[in-house]
Structure 1
Amino acid sequence: MHENPRHGYSLRGHIAVGFRLALLATFCLLMTALGLAMAPAASAAPSPGDGAEQALGNDISWPQCGEDFPDAPAFGIVGVNNGLANTTNPCLAEQLRWAEAISVNPTSQPSVALYVNTANPGLAGSWWPTSNEYPAGQAVANPYGTCKTKDVGAACAYMYGYAKAYDNAHTRGIESPEEYLWWLDVETDNSWSTDRNANRAVLEGMTAFYQGIGAGVGIYSSSYQWRLIVGIVEESSNLYGLPSWLAGARTASGAEAKCSDAPLTAGGDVALTQFVSHGFDYDYSCD
């Protein structure tokens, strides 16, 4: 997920302003004669083009705290964390209200969904599990065996993912977490091990928790980052059939075309694609 604040900029609008300052007396006449137009508002939704009529959604998180939110999206996806897997978005409640106000959604996407940061920091993190219990006293079925102190393999990685998912659902202020679709944001900006099996176990632990409470789960990443962090997902993994949300498109029409790309896991499909325009993340539903 693009975790940096952005500000829209239009070269065409910049030129129009300079032209007006230079030839103020004839500005209106020239604008009419040449057919020039002012730059669109930053929150105006771009068109996919090529004859497509697809309503677009937006995703927002902590970089948009204190900023304007997109106007009238078809659906909204809100980041739960503050850039790291063990943090809380400081304006989560406000952004959830923005998404919950959506009243017209012609796509197959839920009107409100969530996304969470993921990572595998190992012993370098502020917390790392030492057993198969989370929270304390609650045993977790671990397909990788028993997590032990200072173990950075798949068993403890699975527990780390399970614990972060539990925290997201129960300590971030989310009411009725079972009612949401939770997207797992997998990016190289966060801390990961060189052990892709352990990285995969983190995501499997998170997925197991969310599915255990009855929530839906999907994966956000780019094909390149996914291969680097996770690699091939076998059919036996609970990640195998999850829907993909693909990053990397540069335009609305590019996002539309990206729906035909391969999903992140062979058993899933591409449900969403993302591009950036006018300072916002836009999301194209591959209906």
Structure 2
Amino acid sequence: MTDTLDGSGNGSSILNSKGITHIIHAGPKERSKFPSDEEFVECVVKSVQNCIILAERNNFEKLAVPLVGGDIFLGKADIEKLAEGIIRGVANQLAECQKVKEIMLIDFDKKPPYLFLKKIQQLEKELFSTTVPLSADRFIGILKNNNKTNSWIGQQKTIKVKVGDIRDKNLHSCSAIVNAANTYYGMGSGLAGAIKAQTGNAGKINAKAKELISEFNSLIDDSSGPEQPKPNPKPGDNPKPGKKQPSDDSQGPAPDNGNGNNDNEDNGKDDSQEPTDKGPKKDTDQSPNEWREELKNIDPNLEQSFTDTKIAE
């Protein structure tokens, strides 16, 4: 999460002047990183759920969420399945919250069909105890109280859908908004570009977001560090029937090293013979910008040859 100024609370911005003070950067990977649409949707859903967790930890009561992953990173995936997955994931995570009471799903499209609006009306009997279709471009649903662990006494958990501009606080009344795509932690075009245009210093916000995400990744990748909290066991959709899920004390599947092989496979080598001064293995799933930073550390001239055009390719 960053502010809407320069990432460090300095300066001014159009968004801040409207009362939108924070951006939560979802940052899922694009469809091409996954063998199936289902796994891509699951990644996006978990990223949105993490956004809600972050809003909860920072005492926000409302959060505005666009169709994360639905633009250039979608590939040929089914966008309706993505919209449904996000709605289900939002409902599951909102049910676990004590402070966040309302999620506003924003259909940023300029013309129909409005995906959130379409899918949520198909799910209303399953997810909501009460619904209020205000008009052709608005929806309000009060979640069913199926939560067995937290008390909802005196509370209502609400999901709303509106069509319009997520940068307009009059539309959603939220001080925090979610940045839609941002796979490589840079606000480029589309909705992310629209948000970028109304920040104070997008370059510094990008740098701050990248710094925070790198810190987050180091925490979840560092097995030698302190034990991290267990993730919410509720994904956007239930696991595949019959697919065995790892227990809390199991190691789970080995990470993919980027070429389709598991790093932990036994290749007949004696690991004890490996040199001890090689240092940690590089993460082959780093973004091009991260590799460019590595080159810069070796020789500043190398960084210059790794152009933005190359990165785009």
Q: TM-score interval w.r.t. the shorter chain?
A: 0.3 to 0.5
TM-score w.r.t. length of structure 1: 0.35
Give the number of the structure whose residues are more often helix, by fraction. 2
Higher relative contact order by CA 8 Å / sep ≥ 6: 1 or 2? Answer: 2
